[in-house]
Structure 1
Amino acid sequence: MNRLKVAIVSESFLPAVNGVTNTVRHCADRLLAGGHEVLVVAPAPGLASYRGAKVVRVRSFGLPGYRTFSVGLPDGAVGKALADFEPDVVHLASPFALGYVGLRAARRLGIPTVAVYQTDVAGFARQYGVPGDGLLDRWVGHLHRRADRNLVPSTASATRLRRLGVDDVHLWRRGVDLSLFDPAHRNDDLHAAWSRRSSGDPRVVVGYVGRLAAEKEVHRLEEVARVPGVRLVVVGDGPERARLERALPEAKFTGMLSGRDLAGAFASLDVFVHTGPHETFCQTVQEAQASGVPVVAPAAGGPLDLVRHGVTGLLFDPEDPRSLRRAVAVLGGDPDLRARLGAAGHREVQGRTWERVVDELVTRHYPAVLGAHRPAQRAA
Structure 2
Amino acid sequence: MVAESFLPHMNGVTNSVLQLLRHLRAEGHSAVVVAPATSWAGPAWAAEPAPRFVEGFPVHTLPALPLTGYANVRVAAGTVTRVRRLLEAARPDVVHVASPFVLGWRAIQAANQLGLPTVSVYQTEIPAYAQRYGAPWLEQLLWNHVRTMHSASTLNLAPSSYSMRQLADAGVPRLRMWRRGVDTDRFDPRRRSEALRAQLAPNGERLIGFVGRLAAEKQVEDLAVLADLPGTRLVVVGSGPLKDSLRERLPGAHFAGFLGGVELAEMVASLDVFVHPGESETFCQTIQEAMASAVPVVAVGRGGPLDLVDSSRTGWIYRPGDLADLRSRVTDLVYDDVKRRAFAAAAHASVQGRTWPALCDQLLGHYREAVLAGAAA
**What TM-score do you get using the length of structure 2 for normalisation?**
0.94
- Post-superposition Cα deviations, 1:187-237, rounded to whole Å, max 9, x if no partner, equal 01111221223xxxx211101111111110111121121222210011111
Q: Aligned residue for 2:46?
A: none
Q: 1:188 aligns with which of 194, 201, 212?
A: 194
Residues 207, 235 of structure 2: 8 Å contact kept: yes
Match of 1:320 in 2: 322
5+ residue gaps, structure 2, are 39-49
1:69 aligns with 2:45: no
For 1:41, which of 20, 34, 50 is the aligned residue? Answer: 34
What's the RMSD between the two structures over aligned residues? Answer: 1.3
Q: Quote the residue 1:3 is aligned against.
A: none
Counterpart for residue 143 of structure 1 = 149
Mapping of 1:218-233 within 5 angstroms?
218-233=220-235
CA contact (8 A) 2:222 2:323 kept: no
What is the aligned-residue identity percentage?
Answer: 46
1:285 to 262, 284, 287: 287
For the Cα contact (< 8 Å) 1:111–1:374, is it kept in 2? no
Task: Name the amino acid aligned to 2:369.
Answer: A
Give the C-alpha shift of residue 374 in structure 1.
4.8
The question of whether the paired residues in 1 share the 8 Å contact of 2:97 and 2:119 is answered with yes
1:124-203 equivalent positions in 2, closer than 5 A = 124-130=129-135, 131-197=137-203, 202-203=204-205
Distance of 1:327 and 1:74 partners within structure 2: 48
Which amino acid is 1:59 matched to? P
Three-state SS of the structure 2 residue aligned to 1:38 is: coil
1:57 aligns with 2:61: yes
Task: Give the C-alpha shift of residue 25 in structure 1.
Answer: 0.8
Query: What's the CA shift string for 1:289-318, capped at 9, x where partnerless?
Result: 000001111111000000010011111112
Aligned partner of 1:117 among 117, 122, 126: 122
Write the letter of the residue equivalent to 2:64.
S
The corresponding residue for 2:42 is none
Q: Report if the CA contact (8 A) 1:90-1:113 is conserved.
A: yes
How far residue 375 of structure 1 moved from its aligned partner, in angstroms, is 9.4
Contact 1:58 1:77 in 2 (8 A): no
Q: In 1, distance between residues paired with 2:200 and 2:312?
A: 26
Aligned residue number for residue 355 of structure 1: 357
DSSP 3-state at the match of 1:308: coil
Q: What SS class does the counterpart of residue 372 from structure 1 fall into? A: helix
Q: Does structure 1 retain, via aligned residues, the 8 Å contact 2:200–2:254?
A: yes
CA distance in 2, matches of 1:117, 1:320: 28
Q: Greater RCO between the two (CA within 8 Å, min separation 6)? A: 1
Is the Cα contact below 8 Å between 1:227 and 1:328 reproduced in 2? no
Helix, strand or coil for the counterpart of 2:307? helix
| Equivalent residues, number | 364
